A and B are shown apart, each in its own frame.
Chain A
Amino acid sequence: MNPNRDDDSWLARPSSIRLLWRIFWAVLALTVAAHLFIDVKGYFGVDEWYGFGAAFGFLSCLIMVIVAKGLGLLLKRNQDYYQEQDHD
């Protein structure tokens, strides 16, 4: 594993990954800024709030990942679980 990987594909170089992150942040900022100029029609009041989509999207994902993680403690088994059960 070459840590610099300058000979690797463009997408895998650390410099390009940093650039992609910057572009990503800029696009995120743009979508929230666009809300200033474009009227987002809400159906239930709260969904008209400034940046609601961004906050709602982020928080929903956060909750889902945490719930999945918690359920994982209960539900996750070794990948050979059923084969082992079969041989018991």
Chain B
Amino acid sequence: MIELLPPAFILLLGAVLIGPLRGHWRSAMVLGAPLLTLWAVWQVPDGVSLTLPFLGYNIEPLEGSALRRLFATIFALMAFVGGLYAFRQARWYELAAGYAYASGAIGVCFAGDLITLFLFWELMALFSTVIVWCGGTPAARAAGIRYAIMHLLGGVILKVGIEGVAVHTGSVDIQPMLATNFDFWMILIGILINAAAPPLSAWLADAYPESSPTGSVFLSAFTTKTAVLALILLFPGEPVLIWVGIYMIMYGIIYALLENDARRILAYSIVNQVGFMVCAIGIGTELALNGAAAHAFAHIVYKALLFMSAGVVVYRTGKSKCTDLGGLFRTMPLTTICGIIGALSISSFPLTSGFTTKTMISQAAADGGMTAVYFLLAAASAGVFLHAGIKFPWFVFFQKDSGLRPKDAPWNMGAAMVIFAAICLLIGIFPELLYQFLPYQTDYVAYKAGKVVFYLQLLLFSGLAFFLLLPMMKRTLTISLDVDWLWRVAARRVGTLLYNAAGVIGAALEQGALNQVRRLVTFSQRYLGVGKDGASRGTFASAWPIGTTSLWIAVLLSAYVLVYFI
């Protein structure tokens, strides 16, 4: 019966049990639950294996395919290595949230229908917010709230699209679609928000670097890559994605070049790398989709590795700004080497995983005759080496001597980094290990002499450019404005302006009303009031002598009698 229990629930159960368990039992649960999940992932057969009626729709919480198992595998593996990295340092609730978050990602992998996809999607949004909050600082709390608002908004947009599709087509099946009408556009936008696509890319670099050293490792893996999987399943070959992807690639490079915070540099390079995948999905050929899937797999490994090495630095020194760091290679050799392997992999250096996966995407662009896309991808490969491949290790581990002499990584963090560094090299040297699990059969050959020479020239001369342009890249104590400036500052300024304007108008109205009342008071005092001395009285308040009064009464009565008789 366990074969029919969706793997996501195994990990979710593990997440629930982390809290009540203590000591070694908890450690065993942290390390065991992802491995059991990994085993369960490989028991999921192709096709739909579970159908349940839900609100009048048949939902399919468990549908298997090569692509879905590939993503679920790397998510489970990521949970295991992330757990190993974190279990002695992170608080139990951060671990539990991390596993619940990972179970959401695995649930999305096997979702056979849009309703299941949405439920697990929101599970991820919920627990990733908790992980941001686990950063524990006021900045982390504020960033977490902004993060949650963005993802709840994305969820609402996605839900609108799903409702529309369900009502208009009568089916909630996950199947390839194109952005041709309002419903499909809403689904596409909802997914793209999670992929950190423009114009809403800022949430990623805003929130991830505020989390704890261990939390950022979990955050780097799941949200954007489930979005990539959802795009492969729902929008393969959607042409708009090509240019969305190219924009993300360039955005990531430029912002990472301007950035001073080491973990924020890595966060921007997530957007950059996801851009490669989104672009590949837009190209949409079998080779391109293979490339997107393979690159997502390799990316999760080397990006987590990079965040782990940065995490060790933050854990040991409490600093993450390039201006505060430097020269750490002296006392942190393991972290330095693992960071460099991650950096070379993200730069798609030959013999690392990035080379064997990213070149598939470039090849797909070349095969499709997309000249501009091909050359932009090549330029971006050079740019990745520039902004992440050299910049990150250089400014953190080399550069100047910051005087810091921290200890190297604790054993569990070191072990986690070694495992992922080994996978980076393994996929780089024996790419067939990964290629056999790709969604489409492929005879792609990664290593051809000419291609290796081309990429070596491209990358090494980018390296030369980095060191020659180093004076232009001096780190400054700055941040860079992004689109979120519009609501973090501009909207507030407009709000303040409106508030002040309303205040001025209100004050004017109040003053006017006050003046009217004063006039009324003066008027009534003049005719009805009594002066302070009691002698001077208003016209209608003065006392009349009895003689005058009786005379007037006599005059009035006479006038009345006269009028009566006439």
Contacts and interface: CB of A to CB of B under 8 A. Distances in A.
B497 interface: no
Interface of A: 1, 8-9, 11-12, 24, 27-28, 31-32, 34-35, 38-41, 43-44, 47, 51-58, 60-62, 64-65, 67-69, 71-72, 74-79, 81-82, 85
Given A57-B462, A65-B257, A72-B258, A31 B401 contact: no
B211 interface: no
B455 to A, nearest CB: 7
A57 B459 contact: yes
B564 interface: no
A41 B451 contact: yes
B450 A64 contact: no
A77 B398 CA distance: 26
A31 B462 contact: no
A78 B451 contact: no
B461 interface: yes
Contact of A76 (B378, B480, B492): B480
Interface of B: 253-254, 257-258, 260, 327, 329-330, 366, 371, 374-375, 378-379, 382-383, 386, 398, 401, 448-451, 453-466, 469, 472-473, 476-482, 488-489, 492
Contacts of B489: 82, 85
A82 B454 CA distance: 44
13 contacts: A11-B329, A12-B327, A31-B453, A31-B460, A32-B457, A38-B453, A43-B374, A52-B457, A56-B379, A57-B462, A60-B378, A65-B473, A72-B478
Given A61-B465, A76-B481, A81-B481, 14 more contacts: A11-B329, A34-B453, A38-B453, A39-B449, A44-B371, A53-B455, A56-B382, A60-B383, A64-B254, A64-B382, A75-B482, A76-B480, A79-B260, A82-B489
Contact of B378 (A51, A56, A85): A56
Given A28-B460, A60-B462, A35 B453 contact: yes
A8 to B, nearest CB: 8
A40 B448 CA distance: 9
A86 to B, nearest CB: 8
A82 B481 CA distance: 10
A76 B258 contact: yes
Contacts of B383: 60-61, 64
Contact of A58 (B260, B401, B465): B465
The A interface is mostly helix, strand or loop, or mixed, namely helix
Contacts of A8: 401
Contact of B469 (A9, A62, A82): A62
Contacts of B448: 41
Nearest to B481: A75
Given A57-B465, A65-B473, A75 B449 contact: no
Contacts of A68: 253-254, 257-258
Given A43-B366, A54-B461, A81 B401 contact: no
B198 to A, nearest CB: 15
Contacts of B459: 57
Contact of B458 (A54, A69, A76): A54
Nearest to B484: A82
B453 A61 contact: no
Given A56-B379, A56-B458, A58-B462, A77 B469 contact: no
A44 B378 CA distance: 13
Nearest to A34: B453
Contacts of B371: 44
B422 to A, nearest CB: 24
A56 B449 CA distance: 19
Q: Tell me which of B379, B382, B457, B478 has the highest count of chain A C-beta atoms within 10 A of its own C-beta.
A: B457
A11 B254 CA distance: 30
Contact of A53 (B254, B260, B461, B464): B461
Nearest to A11: B329
Nearest to A25: B464
B457 A54 contact: yes
Contacts of B462: 57-58, 60-61
A46 to B, nearest CB: 9
A41 B453 CA distance: 10
Contacts of A82: 479, 488-489
A52 B478 CA distance: 36
A11 B330 CA distance: 9
A9 B488 CA distance: 46
A41 B464 CA distance: 24
Nearest to B477: A79
B256 to A, nearest CB: 9
Contacts of A12: 327, 330, 401
A65 B385 CA distance: 12
Contact of B480 (A35, A60, A72): A72
B265 to A, nearest CB: 12
Given A58-B462, A85-B489, A65 B480 contact: no
Given A9-B330, A71-B254, A85-B488, A57 B401 contact: no
Nearest to A55: B461
A45 B454 CA distance: 14
A79 B330 CA distance: 29
